[in-house]
Structure 1
Amino acid sequence: MDLSSYYHLIFISLALTLSTVIFLITQSKSKYKTRQRLPPGPPGWPIVGNLLQIANSGKPFFQHVRELLPKYGPIFTLKMGSRTMIVVSSAHLAHELLIEKGQLFASRPPETPTRTVFSCDKFTVNAALYGPVWRSLRRNMVQNGLSNTRLKEFKNVRDVALDKLVEKIKAEAQKENGLVYVLKNARFAVFCILLNMCFGLEMSEETVEKIDHMMKEVLITVSPRIDDFLPILSPLFSKQRKEAAAVRKKQIETLRPYIEQRRAILRAGLASDPTATPFSYLDTLFDLPIEGRRSGPTEPEIVTLCSEYLNGGTDTTATAIEWAIGRLIESPFMQTRLVDEIRAVVGARPVREADLDNMPYLHAFVKELLRKHPPTYLSLTHAVTEPATLGGYDIPTGCNVELFLPGISEDPKLWTNPENFDPERFLSGGEDADITGVRGIRMIPFGAGRRICPGLSMATIHVNLLIARLVQEFEWRAFPEGGNIDFTEKLEFTVVMKNSLRAKVIPRVY
């Protein structure tokens, strides 16, 4: 052990000792306070609670949730250092949380110091506290950035990106003896679409890769650290805070030229750059009125909002495509049925957006995909605006309320054979589900209620269109030939396949 590590251990020991003393003093005074009735949960250690049990297990967090559900039921508490986490995993509790008491549970808990740097103190649609800033940002994104009318304006952008994706896969397959990586290619295509929708600019492949690399760096930087749960240890992480500040600076410097380029085009008139799109999400941000503020977003805030737009729709969609191709390889019958439906609707020409409405099996397949493989297993964290109750338990302000989606979409009380991947359940099976949660909660891959994902419509278009085009253009087979698909999960930015899917493709002949 080097000297630096030795001193770090001494510091941690002293910090935990001091924390224990403070904890015991606080506990001795607690008899004078009204005791809160929190949901049950596993026992933990003083100060750290369940944090070390989970952090040192080597398992993804969602696996812990799966294991705790049978013992503690559909609502339980985890003490994660200084944070209290309440996990909810049933349809009736989700309905109480998101619909019946939606306004009470519509806020967000305090962010970590690192996340605060990147969110400009919660100045994003997803992170903002429930209030005027959130209303301004969400209204703008939904009405001006992601409305059906705006989405249709980018139809040609999607068509071009899909054509490029097909050529990219063909080139990779030719070079690699028919083998391609699914997630990497899907992610690149989706990111290209979102960059164009965000900035309204045509970008080279090199530029796309540069921005993509920077965005991944941001996501890695904001990943949870132990000092996020034990702030008393924050002096040990000064190096990481400096690194985060450097990444934030790089993020601003990377996106600033494209923000200024778009601003210059708008000032000169769109005719000044024939390659620019008539509209972009960025256009809505330059002079966006914010309730309670005299001025619109600052440049760092614009960078943050553009980054949110890009990150929110990239990994989630690409992850869905990887799981979809895995399921189609596993079931040649599903793949054949999907191909037959596509051919019956469009013949030999490429699938386009307008064709999707005439493909019921595709829609059933995608709905089953989102039921069985939601991109994230825990929806974005909720918090109460004032002390509340849920399922008869107390929910204090400041705690993290986490919604475990598979607990709903895999509930045998709601679904027939929920462990099976079966698109037929939405056709002849007689089962159905409103993924928005408006007509009841059975599966909510995009959340529900006031904080439902604003990109729901865009995501479903992208997932349906990408799957249709990839299946139309290629036959997908396992690698090695005849092997089984490994559906083991792991947590990255989303829940992806533990072993990134590499598949064999054979171009279809028409």
Structure 2
Amino acid sequence: MEFSQGGILWPALFAILIVLLLLLQKFTRFGSLHHSNLPPGPGHVPVLGNLLVLGKNPHRSLARLARIYGPVMSLKLGSIHAVIISSPSSAREALQSKDNSFSGRHVPDTMRAHGHHEVSLIWMTPNKSWRYLRALLKTHLFSSPALDASQSLRRRKVQELVAYIKGLNGEAVNIGRAAFCTVLNLISTTFLSINMVDFESESAQEFKDLIWGMMEEAGRPNISDFFPLLAPMDLQGRRRRFAAYFKKLYDLFDQMIEIRLYAETAAGEEARKKNSDILDDSFVAGSETSSATLEWAMAELLHQPEFMKRARTEIAEVIGFEREVEESDISKLPFLQAVLKETLRLHPPVPLLLPHKAGPGAEINGYTVPENSKVIVNVWAICRDDRVWKNPDCFVPERFMGREDQEVDFLGQHFDLIPFGSGRRICPGLSLGVRIVQLMLASLIQSFEWRLPDDVGPEDLDLGEKFGVTVVMASPLVAIATPNPVY
């Protein structure tokens, strides 16, 4: 674990911090628990607890610990008691059977910038306002009738993506960036009827850098989260930096909203603030997770060209190359669906689901979970568990091709595969994200023959990952597309 900024460790500050925390621990006994039925877990050092074991890839570190201490595990993260869940049955218990006890959120300090946690659907307490906002979005944006009605919009955005790649005339394509722009414009057009970026514009890369900066910053360890008594000091400046991120987004959204919708009135100002927070959730969460999933899927297909060939053959046999893929075709493409499922299993976009907060009297698997504990579901550990999946570290789409296996989905009911969560806190935009990723993937495979640059063989493709709230490819995927001569 690193408490550094820009690669510079602050030894003096760190020493002062340790002394302060030791004094707090001595005189207030903060963080002490007196429950005899806690889940098992590793021993911990004074003050820091188990923070040092998290490392740069906490999802992997926690998975290794779960192999030792079990699928429900206690950790001490500074003064915070955390419970890590790493099995399908325990995840089902927390997210579905006992979701009343675990529906709250353990809010990171960065999300308190500008009071974002009080108005964000992602971080709000599940109260009346939260239920109203969720129902509103589901009815008007994410329900099946609403999605069917907006199908032509998604088709148009994917057509723009295909046209952009064709226009490169054989130049290398940054697939993640192209997918990001497509999803970004889909979201902005859905909400505000305008394209937000051009594929080659500097603003596109700047916005992607901004979104990833937020994701990466939020995924880094923050002293304020582990020692809430120190949060007002914001020792690492994380909340201040997030406030700057939010201001950039709010300024951008305010301009877009004002142009499209509102006059300069007090009511308009309040409405703009609410809409800016909705847009923030949608842009930040939706654009990065969808584009990262598409990039990982294409990377795995280029890494194992026989799977790319099989997906292309399926499309040729079912649809052909004389018309575009439609959303209604996806159900007739079982191998393509299996590719997406296997991508989400091997590379869940959010490997550690956003943290839940335990309510009073909470239990999991017979263990006591103290009130206000941080509860984290390690989806990555579940998806890489050889007791759940055969050859879990290998990309094998065929595992989803059997009669029963085809029924397994990632919509929150099959707890072997819950990359977007489950229960009342499941990703609200899941249905939209799935439709656009499936359509982009099918269209890219149908429209082009793909290969890696001349100096990169399939076996040499870098599949390393970079951890933030989402996990993205450490090296952006670049490939060369040759348009299908018939299409």
The residue that corresponds to 1:273 in the other structure is none
Deviation at 1:368, TM superposition (A): 2.0
Deviation at 1:186, TM superposition (A): 1.2
The residue that corresponds to 1:373 in the other structure is 347
- Supply the AA of the counterpart residue of 1:108: R
Q: 1:436 aligned to 2:403?
A: no
Counterpart among 362, 368, 389 of residue 363 in structure 2? 389
1:199-348 to structure 2, matched below 5 A, reads 199-203=192-196, 205=198, 206=201, 212=208, 214-216=210-212, 218-219=214-215, 222-224=218-220, 225-231=222-228, 232=230, 235=233, 237=235, 241-264=239-262, 298-347=271-320, 348=322
Q: Against the structure 1 CA distance between its residues 53 and 68, is the aligned structure 2 distance closer, same or farther, given a 3 Å change threshold?
A: closer
The residue that corresponds to 2:470 in the other structure is 494
Q: Against the structure 1 CA distance between its residues 234 and 13, is the aligned structure 2 distance closer, same or farther, given a 3 Å change threshold?
A: farther
**Does the 8 Å contact 2:184/2:196 carry over to 1?**
no
**Whole-Å separation in 1 of the counterparts to 2:284 and 2:244:** 19
**Whole-Å separation in 2 of the counterparts to 1:149 and 1:430:** 28
The residue that corresponds to 1:290 in the other structure is none
The residue that corresponds to 2:24 in the other structure is 22
**Does the 8 Å contact 1:118/1:304 carry over to 2?**
no
Counterpart among 408, 426, 438 of residue 452 in structure 1? 426
**Does the 8 Å contact 1:433/1:441 carry over to 2?**
no
**Whole-Å separation in 2 of the counterparts to 1:335 and 1:442:** 25
Deviations 1:58-85 (A, max 9, x none): x311121122122111121222223222
Deviation at 1:346, TM superposition (A): 2.7
Q: Which runs of 5+ in 2 are unaligned?
A: 1-7
Deviation at 1:325, TM superposition (A): 0.9
**Does the 8 Å contact 1:15/1:233 carry over to 2?**
no
Q: 1:472 aligned to 2:472?
A: no
**Does the 8 Å contact 1:384/1:396 carry over to 2?**
yes
**Whole-Å separation in 2 of the counterparts to 1:493 and 1:28:** 28
- Supply the AA of the counterpart residue of 1:22: L
**Does the 8 Å contact 2:357/2:375 carry over to 1?**
yes
Instruction: Give TM-score, length-normalised by structure 2.
Output: 0.87
Q: Against the structure 1 CA distance between its residues 209 and 29, is the aligned structure 2 distance closer, same or farther, given a 3 Å change threshold?
A: closer
The residue that corresponds to 2:188 in the other structure is 195
**Whole-Å separation in 2 of the counterparts to 1:91 and 1:28:** 33
- Supply the AA of the counterpart residue of 1:334: F
Deviation at 1:88, TM superposition (A): 0.4
Q: Against the structure 1 CA distance between its residues 14 and 358, is the aligned structure 2 distance closer, same or farther, given a 3 Å change threshold?
A: closer
Q: 1:128 aligned to 2:119?
A: no
Deviations 1:457-500 (A, max 9, x none): 11211111011011111122233353413323221342122222
Deviation at 1:110, TM superposition (A): 3.6
Q: Against the structure 1 CA distance between its residues 18 and 368, is the aligned structure 2 distance closer, same or farther, given a 3 Å change threshold?
A: closer
**Whole-Å separation in 2 of the counterparts to 1:197 and 1:172:** 27
**Whole-Å separation in 2 of the counterparts to 1:94 and 1:154:** 33
Identical amino acids, percent of aligned pairs: 30
Q: Against the structure 1 CA distance between its residues 223 and 489, is the aligned structure 2 distance closer, same or farther, given a 3 Å change threshold?
A: closer
**Does the 8 Å contact 1:434/1:442 carry over to 2?**
no
Q: Against the structure 1 CA distance between its residues 153 and 429, is the aligned structure 2 distance closer, same or farther, given a 3 Å change threshold?
A: closer
1:117-196 to structure 2, matched below 5 A, reads 117-118=113-114, 120-172=116-168, 174=170, 176=171, 179-196=172-189
The residue that corresponds to 1:13 in the other structure is 15
Deviations 1:12-60 (A, max 9, x none): 4344223213313445996xx8435322222222222122443xx4x31
Bigger drift between 131-140 and 486-495 goes to: 486-495
- Supply the AA of the counterpart residue of 1:488: G
Deviations 1:155-209 (A, max 9, x none): 22222221221232234453x4xx2222111111111111111222344525666
Deviation at 1:147, TM superposition (A): 1.2
The residue that corresponds to 2:377 in the other structure is 403
Q: 1:92 aligned to 2:89?
A: yes
The residue that corresponds to 2:41 in the other structure is 41
**Does the 8 Å contact 1:83/1:400 carry over to 2?**
yes
**Whole-Å separation in 1 of the counterparts to 2:285 and 2:79:** 28
Deviation at 1:434, TM superposition (A): 3.6
**Whole-Å separation in 2 of the counterparts to 1:486 and 1:209:** 22
**Whole-Å separation in 2 of the counterparts to 1:7 and 1:337:** 50
Q: Which runs of 5+ in 1 are unaligned?
A: 1-5, 266-285, 288-295
Count of paired positions:
469
* CA RMSD between the two structures: 3.1
Counterpart among 58, 61, 83 of residue 64 in structure 1? 61
- Supply the AA of the counterpart residue of 2:339: F
SS at 1:378 equivalent: coil
Deviation at 1:429, TM superposition (A): 6.7
Q: Name the larger-Rg structure.
A: 1
- Supply the AA of the counterpart residue of 2:276: V
Deviation at 1:135, TM superposition (A): 1.0
SS at 1:85 equivalent: strand
Deviation at 1:387, TM superposition (A): 3.2
**Whole-Å separation in 1 of the counterparts to 2:30 and 2:216:** 40
SS at 2:105 equivalent: coil
Deviation at 1:297, TM superposition (A): 5.9
Q: Against the structure 1 CA distance between its residues 409 and 210, is the aligned structure 2 distance closer, same or farther, given a 3 Å change threshold?
A: closer
**Whole-Å separation in 1 of the counterparts to 2:208 and 2:290:** 15
Q: Against the structure 1 CA distance between its residues 72 and 137, is the aligned structure 2 distance closer, same or farther, given a 3 Å change threshold?
A: same
Counterpart among 344, 347, 360 of residue 334 in structure 2? 360
Deviation at 1:326, TM superposition (A): 1.5
Deviation at 1:320, TM superposition (A): 1.1
SS at 1:490 equivalent: strand
Q: 1:115 aligned to 2:111?
A: yes
Instruction: Give TM-score, length-normalised by structure 1.
Output: 0.83
SS at 1:402 equivalent: strand
**Does the 8 Å contact 1:166/1:473 carry over to 2?**
yes
